[in-house]
Structure 1
Amino acid sequence: MGAFPKHALDSLNWMAAREAASRPGSTVIWPFGAVEQHGPHLPLGTDALFAEEVLEAVLERLPMQLPIWRLPLFQLGFSPEHGAFPGTLSLPAEVLLQVVMSVGADLARAGFQRLVLFNAHGGQIALLQVAARQLRAAHPRLAVMPCFLWSGPPGVSALVPEPERSDGLHAALAETSLMLHLAPELVGPERPREGHPDPAPPPGWSLEGAVPNAWLTADLSASGVVGDATGADAALGEALFTRLVDGWVALLGDLLSSSWPPRP
């Protein structure tokens, strides 16, 4: 095992952890990924790799004296929508809820003031929001922020043209391009374009959005791709990575310099 990453909570001894938790604004950030199919051209661990790479780049730019520490990546996630494809490993919802509740309870008892759930898998956004609300209700002095890697930083979605911005839901232009930038050796030669609903949804309805549908990938796609990966390239991936990292550096920096959110 190599050196611990920067800001790693598990690199501290228990006395240092106690001191860390007691600092004003003490914040723990916990990256979440998944092990699930990402088409014929991307690895099962795509979301986990994205969470780890973006978070490490962000923490490298945050000063060591800031009161933020990271937990190890939680790689297994909630991915039932991809269950028809071999290699997908999905935890039951109640298990992931219990994991967040248990770890969060320990952090709260230690005295940490904030927990950021830094999630890179779109299929567990709602579940981690539920977990965050339950954890906050059980431990009111621990602020809990369930965040999604691709949301929050400004200008990220603007790099992806329509209709892919709305319809590229999985293993499509954005994810393929980001992987071509971060780990091109893991990207296969295929660039599928698949997953458009047939028949199309009636007016006002969509796969995701204001009036969503609990879709399963196998309903839409034989390849596992939902969207259009044909135009993916490393230059777009680099631009996406830059905006993601810049955005999260700014967001976390502003959080750490504030007393938000209010606590009882």
Structure 2
Amino acid sequence: MPELTRMTWQEVRDAARSAIALLPIGSQEQHAAHLPMGTDTMLAEAVADRALRRLDGAPVVVRLPALPFGHSPHHLFAAAVSLRASTLQAVLADVLDSLATSGFRRVLVVNGHGGNDEIMRLAVKEYALRADVALAACSYFSLGDGGTPGHAGRYETSLMLAAHAGLVRPREPRPEVTPPPLFAEPPYPGLTVERHGEWARVGGSTDDATTATAQDGADLLEDRVTALADAIRAFDAATRATHAEGEA
């Protein structure tokens, strides 16, 4: 698996003619009392790296270092390192511009944090208007039939038990809160609702993590790796003819 950090500039220039650059992005934020701050970053990396190993070099993908900071102001009640939405969008635009200047014409951003999702997609859409590139963006958890992972609950805890079991601390049952938080249970389908102070009120998680298991995590990880590998192949097939080998 080619990694940008380990390549020389000549190797990067040669690879950029046909390769896809892959940028994982995550966050540093509270994940209740049992998961580490870097959970989102580590899970984005785990899914991306396993998907790239499965591709086995076809197509060629150059893996960038993960961007470890995201948009997490809603978690600052406990602890987080958060970028403003405008800052994250500007950082992504600078990274995309650097990759295009270095010769890459195809870039895929793989996200692990829900707070980044809209910003990441907007950055990709806006940059494609300015440069002759093919860009794609996804959150690993929502590809295909991925559904909604929640935060620091069963889904993410199961994945961490499969990918980084030594970093999962003892778990306590999540207490029921009344009224239920609106960000997790909107009053009408399709309605996005935020209410001040909700994350602190529910203790920083969306659901009970005590039901998480390593086996569930292994199954979830396999499903997400398969979905990302399929997405990379599809992106490659859709863009290869016009953006590979320097053709535009």
TM exceeding 0.5:
yes
What aligned pairs does 1:1-264 form with structure 2 within 5 A after superposition?
6-23=1-18, 26-64=19-57, 66-86=59-79, 88-139=80-131, 141-154=132-145, 156-157=146-147, 169-194=150-175, 198=179, 206=186, 210-215=190-195, 218-219=198-199, 221-259=201-239
Q: 1: CA distance between counterparts of 2:21 and 2:62? A: 5
Q: 1: CA distance between counterparts of 2:77 and 2:177? A: 18
Q: 2: CA distance between counterparts of 1:200 and 1:115? A: 36
Q: 2: CA distance between counterparts of 1:245 and 1:253? A: 12
Please identify runs of 4+ aligned residues in structure 1 that moved more than 6 A: 260-264
Q: 2: CA distance between counterparts of 1:40 and 1:129? A: 30
CA spacing shift, 1:16–1:197, aligned 2, 3 Å: farther
Q: 2: CA distance between counterparts of 1:171 and 1:208? A: 24
Q: 1: CA distance between counterparts of 2:178 and 2:17? A: 52
Of 171-180 and 251-260, deviating more is: 251-260
3-state DSSP of counterpart to 1:229 = coil
CA spacing shift, 1:240–1:134, aligned 2, 3 Å: same
Q: 2: CA distance between counterparts of 1:222 and 1:200? A: 7
Q: Say whether the 8 Å CA contact 2:77–2:200 is kept in structure 1.
A: no
List gaps (5 residues or longer) in structure 2. none
List gaps (5 residues or longer) in structure 1. 1-5, 158-164
Q: 2: CA distance between counterparts of 1:108 and 1:127? A: 20
Instruction: Tell me by how many angstroms 1:178 deviates.
Output: 1.0
When the two structures are aligned, how many residues end up with a matched partner?
A: 242
Instruction: Tell me by how many angstroms 1:244 deviates.
Output: 0.8
Q: 2: CA distance between counterparts of 1:85 and 1:118? A: 26
Q: Say whether the 8 Å CA contact 1:62–1:249 is kept in structure 2.
A: yes
Instruction: Tell me by how many angstroms 1:10 deviates.
Output: 2.9
3-state DSSP of counterpart to 1:258 = helix
Percent identity, aligned pairs only, is 29
3-state DSSP of counterpart to 2:15 = helix
CA spacing shift, 1:221–1:8, aligned 2, 3 Å: same
Of 181-190 and 236-245, deviating more is: 181-190
Matched residue type, 1:256: D
TM-score when scaled to structure 2? 0.87
RMSD: 2.6
Q: Say whether the 8 Å CA contact 2:150–2:156 is kept in structure 1.
A: no
Of 207-216 and 54-63, deviating more is: 207-216
CA spacing shift, 1:183–1:108, aligned 2, 3 Å: same
TM-score when scaled to structure 1? 0.82
Q: 2: CA distance between counterparts of 1:207 and 1:11? A: 49
Matched residue type, 1:38: H
Instruction: Tell me by how many angstroms 1:33 deviates.
Output: 0.9
Matched residue type, 1:150: F
